[in-house]
Amino acid sequence: MASPPASHIVGIKVHGVTKYLIDNATVTFTLNSEVISGVTNSVGEVVLNTADFPSGWSVGDVVSITASKSAEGTVTQNLTLTSSPQTLELTLAETSNFSIDMHSPSTKTTNYLAVQASILYGYDGERITLSNPLPVVILEIQYKTFTALTSDNRNPLYRAQALPGTPADIAKWRIQKFIYGNGTSKPATEILWAGGSSEFDKIWDNRDTYNYS
């Protein structure tokens, strides 16, 4: 079998996790523990030459190719070398570990701590990624409601909400007051909050003592 040409070009395009081409991604070729590498240009491309391996290469050799970029992801794929120029497109996968810088304000000098953290896994054991998002369940909370009627018992004057089981004398209620224009038979013209806030920090038994706005 004829020896392969000394020069063998492999063109690589690197896509981010959202499929766009990315620049400044590092692409590394590994063959028999020898490594050559390059960085993608502004259009996400890099060209490497297997002739740069110190011990050379042969047709049929399997090169391990890794592309990565900080805060983007990484991917590794094997390529079997042929006698003709080759091209390969790689799409980064989100990594399960990342590093963050933490500044310590307790000293005058700047200190940084590298922290390893893991991305969430779903109940199915699969890593949470853009293509496998975190499942979200929206729960509708059923509040306990108290209502105090107007003097003619025709319309609400005060209405309050809290979680089920909340006593009336505990500051865990939010309370509304209904304001009527001409009498109480009309729809309320205003609905005001106790203390001007919808926070659950009022006492139902004290509803008459609050300022409403």
For residues 88 and 46, give the distance between their C-alpha atoms in angstroms, rounded to a whole number. 10
pTM above 0.75, yes or no: no
Residue listed under structure tokens 């290469």: 57
**In which band, very low, low, confident or very high, does the pLDDT at 136 lie, cut at 50, 70 and 90?**
confident
Q: What is the DSSP letter of 1?
A: -
pLDDT at 1 over 60: no
For residues 118 and 94, give the distance between their C-alpha atoms in angstroms, rounded to a whole number. 11
Q: Which of 72-81, 180-189, 202-211 has the lowest mean pLDDT?
A: 180-189
**In which band, very low, low, confident or very high, does the pLDDT at 98 lie, cut at 50, 70 and 90?**
very low
What residue segments make up the domains of the chain, in order of their start?
9-91, 144-209
The average confidence (pLDDT) of the chain is 82
Q: Which homologous superfamily is 9-91 in?
A: Immunoglobulins (2.60.40.10)
**pLDDT: is 2 or 32 the higher one?**
32
Mean pLDDT of 36-56: 94
Most confident of 53-57, 91-95, 128-132, 185-189: 53-57
pLDDT at 167 over 90: yes
CA distance readout (Å), 111 to 38, 70, 71, 108, 203: 31, 21, 21, 9, 48
**In which band, very low, low, confident or very high, does the pLDDT at 118 lie, cut at 50, 70 and 90?**
low
